[in-house]
Structure 1
Amino acid sequence: MLFEEYVTNQIGLPESDRLKYEALLPSSSELGRLICAFSNTNGGIIMLGMLSKNNKISVKGLSADFQVNVVLANAISKLSPAPSVQSGFVTYQEKQLFVIKVEKSDQTIAYNQTAYGIKSKKIYKLSQALGSDTNAGIILTNGKYTGLKNNHILQASGKSIFISYQWHHKVAANNLYAFLKANGYVPAMDDHQLTYKDSISTFMESIRASDFAVLIISDEYLKSENCMIEVLHVLKDRNSKNKILPIRHEDVKIFKTADRIKYVEFWKTQVKEREKMLDGIDPTNAIEELKKLRIAKQIHQDISDFLSGIADMITNTIEEQEKTAYQNIINFIEANKN
């Protein structure tokens, strides 16, 4: 039976210990634990783009903005030994789903050195946990996984942490990167990860695939299109509130409503300026400019909620974090490492 035909036959069945629906793309850690649990029990299917609520199942479709292969490959890279997984896009009712079929394993599979099972639709830890395995580094090839590695997929067993910063604060970002790397974590930032002809869009999706995102927030950061694009990628994660670890620069003022409104007004001005520049221009001759306009509109729409959320968090300055060896950040990561 073809993969798509098999999937179509499963759509609409109630969720169980072998079938899981997700309306949105889970984080790589959630996906990794679920694949691990299915592998260690009776196998199963994960359907992304399907909503199960109040015993009703509906087809929502998965947004094209989600590069699910990057998130999935990051989850798979932390599973040891490598599970048997088949995956791919399936069109159903004119909407696009992404389906992951997990086979039952003859060996105990561990995610980040911890083995999981599933019972009564709940994921639980097994008593047995495994160490890391060299078979963990894999990527998607024609719907299946191989033992090849990808430069943008984090391979180590430690927590993956993306560092988002504006170039004025590159020294602080480099210091944090070196500290995390020396202490067994897997940090990533554009200056360290990207090489000539690497895919920037794929790297940006790896932000969402990371377990945590440290944001070094400054006045320049909040006015930078590139930095705010990184923020937008983090906000796509439904668990973004627990994923974001903010560090503030002393020059940024966001704790009062009036201060936050200044950044909303800044991006409103950016939208107006880009609209004015495009006035009267044939859209087919201004594809890149239209893209920049859409980005500015998205930032303007989301920045108020983003800043309100950051203002509610207890944030230290860069200098305070360095003096305490980033203790607040490390404490949070360790308390949320599962």
Structure 2
Amino acid sequence: MQDYEQTIFVSYAWGGESEEIVNQIDQAMQKRGIKITRDKRDLGYKGSIKEFMERIGQGNCVILVVSDKYLRSPNCMFELVEIAENKQFHDRIFPIVLADADIYDPVKRLGYVKYWEEKRTELADAMKTVDPANLQGIRDDIDLYDRIRDKISGLASTLKDMNTLTAEMHQDANFSHLYDAIEKRLKQSPETGKDKTKEGISNSEENVTATNGGIAVGKIQIGGNVEGSNIVIGNNNQVNNKKK
């Protein structure tokens, strides 16, 4: 199984209420036998921040603690945009939206769009004062601002439409709602979103024929060994374990 299918990441802005909640989530999940991967503990000295954020973007399960600071942070928004661009955004995120994140009022939501437009303009104007030959690395920043500006309104709209519960509700429940949702996701295939335990497993060594009242109606491939002469799969339906 690939790393991103197993690992549970958390994306949040350092400090304040966000970090307090992440610490509480971390402790609650550890008591349930689940390890949260977070930058302060798992990035390591001299580790690549960008590579770590890209891993978060590919994560199968990402807890988001969304605050006003988060929505104004280049690093946090890089992670959020990366998650969105890696598909199945709604299924892979597990948000907790803090009270200071103004995503529910459309006027205030537009304030975040304006913020990133102004950040982009400020940087673009500053770049004009420098020789283009000396802009190495700066162009990456303006490209990021463009990505954030273009996507923040849609991402915020997706978050506001989700019943994320309040931080207090999660705390009162000892984050059980979050735990249950993550457990459900871990049992699903990242590609199909279906329960792994219910998906068919192919085994080319056992070809079996489904019959309807003795009339063959098709072939089914079953993983593992088939014991006995028949397997009943419904009223008057049987599977004969005879190889063709």
TM-score, normalising length from structure 1?
Answer: 0.52
Q: Does 1:171 align with 2:20?
A: yes
Larger helix share, 1 or 2: 2
Matching residue within 172, 179, 184 for 1:335? 184
Q: Does 1:289 align with 2:138?
A: yes
Structure 2: runs of 5 or more not aligned: 189-244
- Tell me how many residue pairs correspond in the alignment: 185
Structure 2 letter corresponding to 1:258: V
Deviations 1:27-47 (A, max 9, x none): xxxxx4xxxxxxxxxxxxxxx
Percent of pairs with identical residues: 28
Give the drift of 1:211: 2.1
Aligned partners of 1:331, 1:217: CA distance in 2, in Å? Answer: 20
Q: Does 1:256 align with 2:105?
A: yes
Structure number with greater Rg is 2
Q: Does 1:161 align with 2:8?
A: yes
Give the drift of 1:199: 2.2
Look up the match of 1:241.
90
Look up the match of 1:305.
154
Higher relative contact order (CA 8 A, sep 6+): 2
Moved over 4 A (4+): none
Contact 1:160 1:185 (8 Å CA) reproduced: no
Matching residue within 45, 68, 72 for 1:196? 45
Give the drift of 1:280: 4.0
Deviations 1:120-165 (A, max 9, x none): xxxxxxxxxxxxxxxxxxxxxxxxxxxxxxxxxxxxxxx4211111
Q: Does 1:231 align with 2:80?
A: yes
Give the drift of 1:327: 2.1
Structure 1 letter corresponding to 2:12: Y
TM-score, normalising length from structure 2?
Answer: 0.71
Aligned partners of 1:321, 1:278: CA distance in 2, in Å? Answer: 44
Structure 1 letter corresponding to 2:111: K
Deviations 1:89-112 (A, max 9, x none): xxxxxxxxxxxxxxxxxxxxxxxx
Give the drift of 1:331: 2.3
Q: Secondary structure at the match of 2:100?
A: coil
Q: Secondary structure at the match of 1:221?
A: helix
Structure 2 letter corresponding to 1:295: L
- Cα 1:251–1:236 shift into 2, 3 Å: same
Give the drift of 1:205: 2.4
Contact 2:102 2:109 (8 Å CA) reproduced: yes
Contact 1:283 1:290 (8 Å CA) reproduced: no
Aligned partners of 1:334, 1:186: CA distance in 2, in Å? Answer: 12
Contact 1:164 1:216 (8 Å CA) reproduced: yes
Matching residue within 108, 111, 117 for 1:268? 117
Contact 1:163 1:215 (8 Å CA) reproduced: yes
Aligned partners of 1:270, 1:232: CA distance in 2, in Å? Answer: 17
Look up the match of 1:115.
none
Q: Secondary structure at the match of 1:287?
A: coil
